[in-house]
Amino acid sequence: MVVEDLKALFFGKENRLVLILTIWLIVGFTYFSFIEYLPEVLGYIFFPPLLGFCFVFFIVSLVTKKDLRELDWKILLGCVIIGVVVAIIFTGIFRLIVASLYRFGVISYIFITSIFYMYACYKYAFKADESASNLDEPKNNILRWTMFLGGTLLSLFIVRIIAIIGVNWARSSPEIADGLGLIAIIIMFIMIGLAVIGILTLIFKRLNAWLGVFLLLVTLFIAYLMYKAYSAVGSSGDTTYDLWIQIGLYLFDLFLIIFTISTIIGEKSEKISETLKIMKVDAIIMWLIFSKAAYEIAVAADPRIPAETINAVLGFILFIPLLAIAGIYGIIKYGKIKKERESTQ
């Protein structure tokens, strides 16, 4: 599952262009993450070409409704040439569009990473449920109930603990901290609501054991968002973290970049592009890379933007409807799969 997706990204010949752009993004992201220790001017030289290439590749993939691997090399060469021109234009008008780049970048990046992270959580949780179901009775029933109840209760416990710690940590901004605490409570109620729906499906003799694993995996992302939000708010406007905390947040951000892109190019992502019908997988990846690069360079260029606070809090807020939608979609999807299997038996 995870290993196969990573292999497709790093070793798949058809994904070489995506890999190059991903590495380009990672190097630039690493540079901007620690830009206070490095020459600042080099960062502004590094990202504009990436923005230009991703913008052109996105438009071409969107218009042709093809992945980049399906395009003729002459078209790709033309895209590179046009990308250079667009990069020069971006560099020339950068100061005029920095605020727009930031708004687009932060919303798009959080939206895409949240969707595909939860999609991956659903996929891996469903696989775990399938593996447990294939065991002999009563082992399968015991394990699946443990997955459902244990995963749900542990997730609620972790979210609650982090919320308590975070509110106490961010006392310097009590109103905002209390607001974030309320968001944490809303997330807990969504989790409880999904668990109740999962229990109600027992009426139809369907145990959504995958839901407990899904919530536990999603809690990892929730913990990251909470930690980042509370640390940003608790910093009283100073967003320069302790170096070790900065490294920890950087590593999780790096994990999100690689994990999200590898998930998108995974085998079942083709089904996502078929469902969307608007764009292909590579177009989504170009959009993701452009969004992250635009966010990083915009934040570095305009220190007036309270980037860490806005990014963390906005990510927290956007996550709420996405969690509810993903959970309900998963329960409905699981019910359809079970119904189809029952009808074929």
For residue 239, is pLDDT > 50?
no
d(CA 24, CA 293): 10
Find out whether 180 and 208 touch, Cβ atoms under 8 Å: no
- What's the mean per-residue pLDDT of the chain? 78
Tokens 């590495």, residue?
23
Higher pLDDT, 145 or 264: 145
Cis peptide before 138 (omega within 30 of 0): yes
**Predicted local confidence at residue 23, as pLDDT:** 92
d(CA 241, CA 132): 43
d(CA 123, CA 137): 24
Q: What is the arithmetic mean of pLDDT over 224-245?
A: 62
- For the stretch 103-142, pLDDT in tens is 777 778 778 888 888 888 888 888 888 888 888 888 888 8
- For the stretch 21-71, pLDDT in tens is 999 999 888 888 887 777 766 767 777 888 888 888 888 888 887 777 777
pLDDT confidence of 238, banded at 50, 70, 90?
very low
Higher pLDDT, 230 or 49: 49
CA-closest candidate to residue 180, choices 228, 246, 235: 228
What 8-state DSSP symbol labels residue 150? I
d(CA 231, CA 326): 27
Higher pLDDT, 312 or 338: 338
Q: Say what the pTM is.
A: 0.78
**Predicted local confidence at residue 306, as pLDDT:** 54
Which tokens belong to 321? 């409807």
**Predicted local confidence at residue 237, as pLDDT:** 46
d(CA 213, CA 147): 6
What 8-state DSSP symbol labels residue 71? S
Percent of the chain topping pLDDT 70: 75
Find out whether 316 and 226 touch, Cβ atoms under 8 Å: yes
d(CA 36, CA 109): 23
Percent of the chain topping pLDDT 90: 8
For residue 293, is pLDDT > 60?
yes
Tell me which of 58-62, 213-217, 296-300, 321-325 is least confident.
296-300
d(CA 258, CA 266): 12
Tell me which of 124-128, 196-200, 280-284, 324-328 is least confident.
280-284
Q: How many domains does the chain divide into?
A: 1
Domain span at residue 86 reads 2-344
d(CA 104, CA 82): 22
Q: What is the arithmetic mean of pLDDT over 194-216?
A: 87
Higher pLDDT, 261 or 41: 261
- For the stretch 164-202, pLDDT in tens is 776 666 555 555 556 666 777 888 899 999 999 988 888
Q: What is the arithmetic mean of pLDDT over 93-112?
A: 71
Which residues lie below 8 Å from residue 2, measured CB to CB, with a gap of 6+?
A: 124, 259, 262
Helix 281-301 and helix 73-133: axis angle, to 10°? Answer: 100
C-alpha distance across the termini of the chain, in Å: 27
pLDDT confidence of 301, banded at 50, 70, 90?
low
**CA dihedral sign, ordered 337, 338, 343, 344:** positive
